[in-house]
Amino acid sequence: MDLDERKLKILQAIIRNYLETGEPVGSRTISKYTDLNLSSATIRNEMADLEELGYILQPHTSAGRIPSDKGYRLYVDTMMQDKERQVDEKMDMLLEKEDKIDNLLKQVAKVLATNTNYATMISAPQVHRNKIKFIQLSKVDDLHILAVIVIEGNMIRNSILNVPEAIDDETMLKLNMLLNTNLNGMAVEEINLGIISALKQQAGIHSDLIGNIIDAFGESIQPDNDLEIYTSGTNNFLKYPELADHEKASELLNTFEEKENLSELVQESLAGESETGIQVYIGNETPIQSMKDCSVVTATYDLGDGMKGTVGIIGPKRMDYDKVVGTLKTIMHQLDDLYKK
């Protein structure tokens, strides 16, 4: 048995209808809803076939049909309409240029959440492959020195280092020179043991300090330490009955609070990047356990200078995929417009 034209049309109608109403869809509805001019009985036959093929399922006998994960997948892959243009008009400029990238990201998360009525997350750019632009050590007081690193894209990391004894200004200057001449222009992850030991050697009696500093760099830049994730619209979960019961909602809220879990999603999404940069995970396809009953749409943003990160929209499986994808694309374009130049 195969999916002929008509079955596709019916499946599409079922899904469209279900996305709108959230209620199982019956044969009579489809019979009227489509322009196929078929009786409900015929539809019923076709629906029985579609069910056998696994595209739709019945919550219980004598109920209408709802799409299965397989059904959604087919829809997303082949039937979605590009709503981008329509969306575009409505929200032609929602983002404001922000100096601090964190604030921009928070803004994106919020705008997306209010526009889609789903929960959103956005990861701060991964620093992988990002070049060190500038390093500065300064003496704060006798026992503390401040290390500041500026990375390409003007992201700033800093940490306070404890030193066992005071360091005089001259040494300080030398260390600064040493670090800058050796490390500028390097990607953070390129700093390997060889380079470190070379640096230590050059530092002479201060090799311990160099060690400390490098360690501090490593720590402040390690992916999991660094992977800041902002979320918004978590209360939207409560709007969808299929997610709103205590058990599920609680788990979801927890996932959004313990952001470590979300980072899995970020990794996954960055790894499996598609041409458009947009990916859809339906139900069990998501890498995160607590989202089994959700669908997740992710996009990769790129602010230039290798500052890439992931945006995600998390909602019920019956989310408005067309709108979500459209909105994401729009926002991505706006980000491009704001930052690419």
Give the residues lining the site for DNA (CB under 7 A): 23-29, 37-42, 44-45, 47-48, 51, 58, 60-65
| Rounded to 5°, angle at Cα 222 from 148 and 144 | 35
| Rounded to 5°, angle at Cα 292 from 291 and 297 | 60
Binder of residue 257, out of DNA, a copy of itself, none (CB less than 5 to 8 A by kind): a copy of itself
Distance CA 5, CA 254 (A): 44
Which one of 41, 63, 80, 156 is in contact with a copy of itself (CB under 8 A)?
156
- Shortest Cβ 15–DNA spacing (Å): 14
Please, is 291 exposed, middle or buried when counting C-beta atoms within 10 Å of its C-beta (0-12, 13-18, 19+)?
A: buried
Q: Verify binding: residue 134, a copy of itself, rule CB under 8 A.
A: yes
Binder of residue 44, out of DNA, a copy of itself, none (CB less than 5 to 8 A by kind): DNA
CB closer to DNA, 19 vs 127:
19
Which one of 232, 279, 286, 310 is in contact with a copy of itself (CB under 8 A)?
232
Q: Verify binding: residue 212, a copy of itself, rule CB under 8 A.
A: no
List CB contacts of 338: < 8 A, sequence separation 6 or more: 95, 97
Q: Tell me the C-alpha to C-alpha distance, in Å, between residue 75 and each of 35, 56, 322, 329.
A: 19, 12, 10, 19
Q: Verify binding: residue 102, a copy of itself, rule CB under 8 A.
A: no
Binder of residue 117, out of a copy of itself, DNA, none (CB less than 5 to 8 A by kind): none
CB closer to a copy of itself, 90 vs 239:
239
Which one of 233, 277, 312, 316 is in contact with a copy of itself (CB under 8 A)?
233
Residue with tokens 């690419």: 340
Q: Verify binding: residue 63, a copy of itself, rule CB under 8 A.
A: no
Residue 75 in contact with residue 23, Cβ under 8 Å?
no
Residue 113 in contact with residue 235, Cβ under 8 Å?
no
Please tell me whether residue 224 adopts helix, strand or coil conformation.
helix
- Shortest Cβ 68–DNA spacing (Å): 14
Q: Can you spell out the DSSP letters for 245-314? A: SHHHHHHHHHHHHSHHHHHHHHHHHHHT--SSSEEEEEGGGSS-GGGTTEEEEEEEEE-STT-EEEEEEE
CB closer to DNA, 37 vs 192:
37
Q: Looking at residue 4, what DSSP letter applies?
A: -
Q: Verify binding: residue 239, a copy of itself, rule CB under 8 A.
A: yes
**Which one, of 9, 69, 76, 74, lies nearest residue 36 by Cα?**
9
Residue 105 in contact with residue 126, Cβ under 8 Å?
no
- Shortest Cβ 218–DNA spacing (Å): 55
Binder of residue 341, out of DNA, a copy of itself, none (CB less than 5 to 8 A by kind): none
Q: Verify binding: residue 215, a copy of itself, rule CB under 8 A.
A: no
Q: Verify binding: residue 276, a copy of itself, rule CB under 8 A.
A: no
Which one of 5, 77, 92, 99 is in contact with a copy of itself (CB under 8 A)?
99
Q: Verify binding: residue 160, a copy of itself, rule CB under 8 A.
A: yes
Residue 202 in contact with residue 178, Cβ under 8 Å?
yes
CB closer to a copy of itself, 63 vs 186:
186
Which residues bind to a copy of itself, rule: CB under 8 A?
Answer: 99-100, 133-134, 136, 138, 140-141, 144, 146, 148, 150, 154, 156, 158-160, 231-235, 238-239, 244, 246, 249-251, 253-254, 257
